[in-house]
Amino acid sequence: MFSIRSGVFRSLNSGVPRNALRRGFHNSSVSNAVSKLLMPALSPTMTEGTITSWKKNEGDKLEAGDIILEIETDKAQMEIEAQDDGVLAKIIVPNGTKGVAVNSLIALLAEEGDDISSIEVPADATPASTPAPEQPAVQSEAPASTPATASADRDNYLSPAVAHLVRNNKIDDINKVPATGPKGRILKGDVLGYLGLIKSAPAPKAESKASAATSNAPQTPAPSSSAEYEDIPVTTMRRIIASRLSESKSTVPHSYVAREIVVDEINKLRRTLKENNQISVSVNDFIVRATSLALRDVPELNVRYNPAKEAGESIDSVDISIAVATPTGLITPIVKNADQRGLTDISKTVKELAAKARAGKLMPNEYQGGSFSISNLGMFGIGQFSAIINPPQACIMAVGGTKIEVIEDESFITPSEVAAVEPVAEPDVFDYLSGESKFSYNTPVNGNLKTRQVMTVNLSIDDRVVDAAIAGDFLNKFKFYMENPINMIL
């Protein structure tokens, strides 16, 4: 038997709210009650979604675990599956329907063995409307304007100077004044000419020679627009992202604080872990770890803004949102309690969350919330950029790629310090070209110069709850951990 209850369906990623299925109505020709399947609210911010596709057809039997349909929300694509057996009696909202409001009716469900042919759609159901065929426009001749209307229309074209002349000279019918201005407009000279104070200007010709020549010229057909571009539908996720980022940029007072970070020690430690311990961790894993420790040291930055209270809220846990690009848009899965995780744990968690995000399999609790966001475009060759805050979070850090920088080598020994040391001949450029001496970025340039790898991070802060001084303190802590990575694994 098909048990009608509020929890018949659930998402693979999360449980569908209890009110997603409700007991509906009785049909006189059906043995049992028919239930309504409503559009579920799969996240706190979801107000509408898109029915991407129904995986079952009307009349198909349902078994526990069967995927019924796929819904695209403002965060991800979610699959809805059955927990009990039954029948998909009637699909109300078809495939590809966008903007389906939460709690609106999308399907009817019945028990196995019921006569679904007799099931009727409830009167309050609002199936997706299809665009009506375009009707040919019927043009009707506009009635000729009356003199009063024409007079009123021409009055609207009078400039202040012309209106002053008309009033002072008590011209009752403005239509008697011949107009020579553009679009039948009465000029000051027209009024003066009508009063006989100056010679009237000749009326403009209906068509100039230039316009006549243009009209006689052969017209070339306009190029077909269908061959010039292709329409790309905007996904629900991208539309919601655009809306929220526009709202954030216009309502959240953004400020920006930047810092350069030397990553030479991190690269050395990565090579050591790889060669000696067969442990592979990325620079991004170090960034997440350093961020979490810096947030623990500077808890004033681990906050969010509550618009209802018009106040900031301190967050106890350090939960780092990592921006991940997916085919349908950007999503930010969360590394929870990142300050309590080691590098290998962070690396494993980030890889798992990124894979689930790209496959659209994230659970809502894996991307909702977070206390701080990181957006890293360094792997795309981006030097530096600014990111938009994702409310209610108060901060997001934009991470750019590394660049090679030449600096003075402070450890270089001056000539006076090596006076007693036997001089050694430096190889010249021909030695490098012949291969007798090898050049590398670690080789001092001009004796007292060396190279280093530097990346730039740009922190966006919400000025309502975070000021620049706190942001600077955080970036200094972050820089310390990044340039002394041994402190992150102790």
Alpha helices in 217-361 (DSSP H): 236-251, 264-277, 283-297, 343-358
Q: Which two tokens stand for residue 75?
A: 């965060």
Q: Which two tokens stand for residue 181?
A: 């201005």
The sign of the torsion formed by the CA atoms of 154, 160, 166, 167 equals positive
Helix, strand or coil for residue 403?
Answer: strand
- In angstroms, rounded to a whole number, what is the distance separating the alpha carbons of residues 277 and 283? 17
Q: What is the pLDDT of residue 73?
A: 76
Q: What is the pLDDT of residue 44?
A: 67
Domain 160-195 class? few secondary structures
Per-residue pLDDT band for 158 (boundaries 50, 70, 90) equals confident
The sign of the torsion formed by the CA atoms of 173, 177, 178, 182 equals negative
Cis, bond preceding 392 (omega within 30 deg of 0)? yes
Own/partner long-range contacts of 303-311 (Cβ < 8 Å, ≥24 apart)? 303/371, 303/394, 303/465, 303/466, 304/371, 304/391, 304/392, 304/393, 304/394, 304/465, 305/252, 305/391, 305/392, 305/394, 305/462, 305/464, 305/465, 306/392, 307/391, 307/392
Lowest mean pLDDT among 248-257, 342-351, 357-366: 357-366
Q: What is the average per-residue pLDDT within 218-237?
A: 69
Kindly list the domain boundaries of the chain, sorted by start residue.
Answer: 34-110, 160-195, 254-409+447-488
- In angstroms, rounded to a whole number, what is the distance separating the alpha carbons of residues 369 and 43? 11
pLDDT(449) > 80: yes
Q: What is the pLDDT of residue 180?
A: 82
Per-residue pLDDT band for 365 (boundaries 50, 70, 90) equals confident
pLDDT higher for 76 or 231? 231
Let me know if 285 is exposed, middle or buried by CB neighbors in 10 A (0-12, 13-18, 19+): buried
- In angstroms, rounded to a whole number, what is the distance separating the alpha carbons of residues 343 and 9? 38
Per-residue pLDDT band for 218 (boundaries 50, 70, 90) equals low
Query: Among the ranges 62-76, 211-225, 251-265, which has the highest mean pLDDT value?
Result: 251-265
Tens digits of residue pLDDT in 426-440: 554 444 444 444 444
Tens digits of residue pLDDT in 302-329: 999 999 999 999 999 999 999 998 887 7
- The per-residue b/e assignment along 327-344, b for 16 or more CB within 10 angstroms, e otherwise, is ebbebbbbbbebbebebe
Percent of residues in the chain assigned helix, strand, coil, to nearest 5? 30, 25, 45
Does the domain at 34-110 match CATH 2.40.50.100? Answer given as yes
Tens digits of residue pLDDT in 116-134: 777 777 766 655 444 334 4
Beta bridge partners of 397: 374, 459
Q: Mean pLDDT over all residues of the chain?
A: 77
pLDDT(139) > 70: no
Per-residue pLDDT band for 212 (boundaries 50, 70, 90) equals very low
Query: Within 13 A of 282's CA, how many CA atoms are on the CB side?
Result: 13
Query: Among the ranges 63-72, 224-233, 348-357, 404-413, which has the highest mean pLDDT value?
Result: 348-357
66 Cβ contact partners less than 8 Å away, ≥ 6 residues apart: 55, 56, 81, 82
- Of 2.40.340.10, 3.30.559.10, 3.30.70.20, 3.80.10.10, the CATH number of 254-409+447-488 is 3.30.559.10
- Smallest CA-to-CA distance from 456 within 478, 436, 438 is with 478
Query: Among the ranges 98-112, 210-224, 415-429, which has the highest mean pLDDT value?
Result: 98-112
Angle formed at CA 286 by CA 244 and CA 334, multiple of 5 degrees: 35
Per-residue pLDDT band for 374 (boundaries 50, 70, 90) equals very high
Q: What is the average per-residue pLDDT within 211-221?
A: 52
Q: What is the pLDDT of residue 124?
A: 64
Number of CB atoms found within 10 A of residue 224's CB: 7
Q: What is the pLDDT of residue 172?
A: 76
- Token pair 């007799």 in the structure block, residue: 118
pLDDT(264) > 90: yes
- Smallest CA-to-CA distance from 295 within 348, 371, 347 is with 371
Is pTM beyond 0.75 here? no
Indicate the DSSP class of residue 420. T
| 272 phi/psi in degrees, rounded to 5 | -65, -45
pLDDT(4) > 60: no
Dihedral over alpha carbons 90, 95, 96, 99 (to 10 degrees): 20
